[in-house]
Amino acid sequence: MPFTPYHFGPSGLVGLLFKRRLDLPVFLLANVAVDLEVLLIAGLDLGYPTHRYAHTLLFGAVVGGAWGLAAYPLRPLFARLMHLLRLPYESGLRKMVISGVLGVWLHVLIDATYHPDVHLLWPSHAWPLWRIAYRHITRDQVKDLCVTLLIVAAALYVVLLAVQQRRTRRTP
């Protein structure tokens, strides 16, 4: 599911649920960072499977960590964005790197249920999640689940804003 909004459902929900432990913008944007590999392979017509190294747990961790490091100077921008969204934002380098890695891993786990060319456990070419998913759930069901989780994430965001607003009204 390259460059689709599908990944933002699961990552949005997980990011909001664990917003104190994760850097939400880094976690969410890790889903875009990992798919740069797909764009490069397809765009340059390299002849490789489109989900190559970044779509593994091993190199995905490197991509996510690199994204977290690269995003570190963007903290002021992320803080303004989170302020606009009325969500608290506190971050640091360690939190950003961990968020990048976990964001990429979530993306890769979703893709491993959807694409047969994702070798999650590379250098092994086993496809444990894809084989399980292929037998038990359809690609449309994976998409539907991601869209459902996006709706749940949006509802959670509204609830978080309401709770925050209620707390703000109570404090003198």
Average pLDDT over residues 90-111: 94
Residue 98: pLDDT above 70?
yes
Q: Please write the tens of the pLDDT for every residue from 24-55.
A: 999 999 988 888 877 777 777 776 766 677 78
Give the separation between CA 46 and CA 133, rounded to whole angstroms.
28
**3-class SS at 108?**
helix
**3-class SS at 85?**
coil
